[in-house]
Structure 1
Amino acid sequence: MQTESTPSLAGREYEVEVGPVAHGGHCVARTETGQVLFVRHALPGERVVARVTDGEEGARFLRADAVRVLTASKDRVEPPCPFSGPGRCGGCDWQHAAPGAQRRLKAAVVTEQLARLAGLTPEQAGWDGTVVPAPGDKVAKGEVPAWRTRVQYAVDPEGRAGLRKHRSHEVEVVDRCLIAAPGVSELGVEARAWPQIASVEAIAATGSGDRQVILTPRPGGRLPIVELDRPVSVQRIGERDKAVHRVHGRPFVRERADDRTWRVGDGGFWQVHPKAPELLVEAVMRGLMPRKGETALDLYCGVGLFAGALAERVGERGAVLGIESGKRAVEDARHNLQDLERVRIEYGKVEQVMPATGITEADLIVLDPPRAGAGRDTVAHLASLGARRIAYVACDPAALARDLGYFADGGYRPIRLQAFDLFPFTHHVECVAILEPADKTA
């Protein structure tokens, strides 16, 4: 709690030299007194005027925005999006950086996290140190790939759709999101009024052409009559139990990946970049090299993407167990993989279900945990199963690095790591690490 002895420094400005990039979409700088500033809208090597947005005297660090650039980096560009900048939309962290520079910034973050949390150099992690764009995303300065197939819009009190400002509940009203995929933009969410609605999720499935709109009403609000220019599934999220209630259309979309169709229900998890599922399946399968007759685990399995890919490759003599904590995702996974008799999907948290299965060994393991990672206890359990290879899919380099450290304690080392820029113009980066027992002979 703020007191008279610790006044807020919000609004105070400092002229600073910008240091290295840090995890989270900002760079590190220091005031004349040595206090750390995490500065957004800046680039390493620049000299800027940074205005504090959050923090107080004596705090371990302050958050700030670069409101004036005194000496610009050669990697700086004019942000293509008119809603980007200090105090504006918080969705894209690197609108002011050239596309190639964005990937170098992400590579620097992955390198730093591996060193600090896992004690690994890129070479020790089996990584060439690059972040690779998805096919079709390598664009020139001033261009923006429209890649996001799922966009969560917030709605302001006047019923206007927009996106949240950084670390804020305030809504930046927009008339177009540049990174939204064409199928999302075609729904015209930004052009409509949404009275009594708190949020609108717009989904454009890849391959099937399915569209879905999920509406969350404000407390006491009612679902409006929704008429769109094209057929679309419109859903409502109930106020009490947060369950999604069907209004009209299918309560799911169909996605295509790895030569299969995947049902994804009620806004459930699916990679938001259209090329991500194929890229990640390819990276995981190439790293694991599944063999006929092997047993495999797919943990945090979602709607069964990796479980299905594994099952096709281990064949009828193999077996795959998937574990997922989302009830609807489990239903979808069982539906998606019903033709594969050697696949079983269990509902529950990995750390609770795994001990209850009685499984003491497995040949292959895939884990794609949430942003927080798997954690020490789960990693220790997995390391005890003696898998020939493990594939770790990570959307957060800090969580990945921490868990790689835990895997090292359990006798596993990374032999290959790939980093993909599946979230252009944001600070997010997707990694796939392949591990094997550290004592395995080359």
Structure 2
Amino acid sequence: MPTSAPEQPIELDITNVAHGGIFVARHEGRVVFVSDAIPGEKVLARITDARKKSFWRAETIAVLEPSEHRRDHVWAEASVDRDPIERPGGAEFGHMSLEHQRALKNQVLSEAFEKFAGGAAPDFDVESVAGDDEAGGLGWRTRVRLHVDENGRMGPYAARSHRVVPVASLPLATTRLSELIELDALVEGAASIDLIDPSGSEPLLCVGADDLKAAGTVTERVRDRGFSVDAGGFWQVHRGAASTLTEAVQRAIDGALFEPRADNLDLYGGVGLLAAAVQDRFGDTVRMTSVEADAGATRHARRNLIAGNIEAETARVDRYLTHLHSRLSAVERRAFRDATVVLDPPRAGAGTQVTAQLAQLAPAQIVYVACDPVALARDAGAFAASGYELTSLRAFDLFPHTHHVEAVASFVRAR
């Protein structure tokens, strides 16, 4: 095995895809993670990071034997023809067909379950959002952050760096956002620019953090509901994601196991999107507590969920569950076994503490919304070890031309 990275570009045969939007090759026995490639290709690559003994990182600089799935990149500035340091990040799968992107996302999620969940995942397909295929996977992003360099030029960062790359287009952004910004303009006095295209209010261009904070509240619409959210707060970025996840969570809940008056929970609840999905399916008699660490999001959740019996509390989920365990009587703990828990944790997942706390509460069913395949698989393995059966898994292509995939998994307590 070589002890130092070669200074000259090397030829690599790409054999697989890895979690994180990179691809796998080997050079003289060492694993090399390569960007901008496709399994089955032979590429010329430049080693960019050789600090680890177990693997190197590399960038494709030329494709010697292209895959049948390779296409012209949807973002010209990210093409393999450009020097890697001049390629903007954020569209790392944009050089292949949408169909093949979804096949690779399916593979990554399936392999994560085999490795971390203790068994194969149920059969599933990565589902597209309505309209995306017709649009070529473009025009879906409703929130874009651009950065400003020392010369006042704006653009996204290059992949895995803080180097600003000026661009002439934003193909993943909605039309309203693309029309809102002059990308060749110079910016003074700000480090970033935020573009926001809410579904229920006018688009915003915010220059700098102070401008974003001053923008206040925007409105997002999902079916017949309006949701207030801070302009800089979290909301799903795909124009159809909120509706897609609403429908997916509603379908994921087993109605035969759902008890409206139980101590149902919506964890990592944000501004109340998924609590509202539960209420819209089962009616205003639903009792549920939505728990969110961000106080601003909780304030919006209280307004968004004003009808019915849903409460919103500001707390870290692990601390909330610790407090819940400490105050439940034996009778209340038994009653909790009728509850349904919906959770939508951050990319790192719920983790060992939260999964253990939920297993101790032993709710009837758990519906888990995940944006990271490995985190979901690890938590699924923890639930399985605690006596829960994975009863369904769906995956959604909410981020076309990137490696990201969203999944909704259902777990039912073994009787």
TM-score normalised to the size of structure 1? Answer: 0.85
Matches within 5 A, 1:17-96: 17-31=13-27, 33-56=28-51, 59-84=53-78, 85=80, 86-87=84-85, 88-96=87-95
Q: Distance in 2 between matches of 1:214 and 1:331?
A: 23
Q: Tell me, yes or no, if structure 1 residue 347 matches structure 2 residue 314.
A: yes
Q: Distance in 1 between matches of 2:100 and 2:185?
A: 36
Which one-letter code corresponds to 1:213 in the other structure? L
* Corresponding residue SS for 2:391: strand
Given that residues 165 and 171 in structure 1 are in contact (C-alpha distance below 8 angstroms), is that contact kept between their aligned partners in structure 2? yes
Matches within 5 A, 1:265-414: 265-288=230-253, 289=255, 290-340=258-308, 342-357=309-324, 358-359=327-328, 360=333, 361=336, 363-414=339-390
* Corresponding residue SS for 1:77: coil
Runs of 5+ consecutive residues of structure 2 not aligned to the other structure = none
Which one-letter code corresponds to 1:188 in the other structure? I
Q: Distance in 2 between matches of 1:426 and 1:179?
A: 10
Which one-letter code corresponds to 2:278 in the other structure? L
Runs of 5+ consecutive residues of structure 1 not aligned to the other structure = 218-234, 238-243
* Corresponding residue SS for 1:83: helix
Given that residues 252 and 408 in structure 2 are in contact (C-alpha distance below 8 angstroms), is that contact kept between their aligned partners in structure 1? no
Q: Distance in 2 between matches of 1:189 and 1:412?
A: 52
Task: Using the TM superposition, name which of 422-431 and 168-177 deviates more.
Answer: 168-177
Q: Distance in 1 between matches of 2:112 and 2:170?
A: 31
Which one of 161, 183, 208 corresponds to residue 216 of structure 1? 208
Q: Distance in 2 between matches of 1:335 and 1:251?
A: 15
Matches within 5 A, 1:225-304: 235-236=210-211, 244=213, 246=214, 251-288=216-253, 289=255, 290-304=258-272
Which one-letter code corresponds to 1:435 in the other structure? F
Q: Deviations over 1:36-70 (max 9, x none)?
A: 100111110111111111124x6211111111111
Q: Tell me, yes or no, if structure 1 residue 105 matches structure 2 residue 104.
A: yes
Q: Tell me, yes or no, if structure 1 residue 150 matches structure 2 residue 150.
A: no
Q: Runs of 4 or more off by more than 4 Å in structure 1?
A: none
Write 1 or 2 for the structure with the bigger share of helix.
Answer: 2
What is the deviation of 1:113? 0.7
Q: Deviations over 1:100-133 (max 9, x none)?
A: 11111111111111111112213xxx332x2111
Q: Distance in 1 between matches of 2:284 and 2:44?
A: 63
What is the deviation of 1:432? 0.4
Q: Deviations over 1:363-410 (max 9, x none)?
A: 100000000000111101112222222110000001000000111121
Task: Kindly report the root-mean-square deviation, in angstroms, between the aligned alpha carbons of the 2 structures.
Answer: 1.9
What is the deviation of 1:315? 3.6
Distance change in 2, residues 1:258/1:436 (3 Å): farther
Q: Deviations over 1:66-115 (max 9, x none)?
A: 11111111001111211113331111111111111111111111111111
What is the deviation of 1:139? 4.2
Q: Distance in 2 between matches of 1:309 and 1:332?
A: 16
Q: Distance in 2 between matches of 1:296 and 1:336?
A: 18
What is the deviation of 1:296? 1.4
Given that residues 99 and 139 in structure 1 are in contact (C-alpha distance below 8 angstroms), is that contact kept between their aligned partners in structure 2? no
Given that residues 260 and 287 in structure 2 are in contact (C-alpha distance below 8 angstroms), is that contact kept between their aligned partners in structure 1? no
Q: Tell me, yes or no, if structure 1 residue 138 matches structure 2 residue 133.
A: yes
Given that residues 255 and 262 in structure 1 are in contact (C-alpha distance below 8 angstroms), is that contact kept between their aligned partners in structure 2? yes
What is the deviation of 1:144? 4.2
Given that residues 212 and 252 in structure 1 are in contact (C-alpha distance below 8 angstroms), is that contact kept between their aligned partners in structure 2? no
Identity percentage of aligned residues? 39
Aligned counterpart, 1:119: 118
Given that residues 10 and 55 in structure 1 are in contact (C-alpha distance below 8 angstroms), is that contact kept between their aligned partners in structure 2? no
What is the deviation of 1:191? 4.2
What is the deviation of 1:20? 0.7
Which one-letter code corresponds to 2:94 in the other structure? Q
Given that residues 90 and 159 in structure 2 are in contact (C-alpha distance below 8 angstroms), is that contact kept between their aligned partners in structure 1? yes
Aligned counterpart, 1:190: 183
Distance change in 2, residues 1:335/1:189 (3 Å): farther
Given that residues 148 and 192 in structure 2 are in contact (C-alpha distance below 8 angstroms), is that contact kept between their aligned partners in structure 1? yes
Aligned counterpart, 2:164: 171
Given that residues 259 and 340 in structure 2 are in contact (C-alpha distance below 8 angstroms), is that contact kept between their aligned partners in structure 1? no
TM-score normalised to the size of structure 2? Answer: 0.91
Which one-letter code corresponds to 2:307 in the other structure? D
Task: Using the TM superposition, name which of 342-351 and 330-339 deviates more.
Answer: 330-339
Q: Distance in 2 between matches of 1:309 and 1:303?
A: 12
Q: Distance in 2 between matches of 1:268 and 1:403?
A: 26
What is the deviation of 1:413? 1.7
Aligned counterpart, 1:231: none
Distance change in 2, residues 1:62/1:75 (3 Å): same
Q: Distance in 1 between matches of 2:47 and 2:68?
A: 25
Given that residues 21 and 105 in structure 1 are in contact (C-alpha distance below 8 angstroms), is that contact kept between their aligned partners in structure 2? yes
Aligned counterpart, 1:226: none
* Corresponding residue SS for 2:361: coil
Given that residues 293 and 315 in structure 1 are in contact (C-alpha distance below 8 angstroms), is that contact kept between their aligned partners in structure 2? no
Q: Deviations over 1:307-332 (max 9, x none)?
A: 12223444444311010011111111
Given that residues 135 and 275 in structure 1 are in contact (C-alpha distance below 8 angstroms), is that contact kept between their aligned partners in structure 2? yes
Which one-letter code corresponds to 2:236 in the other structure? Q
* Corresponding residue SS for 2:141: coil
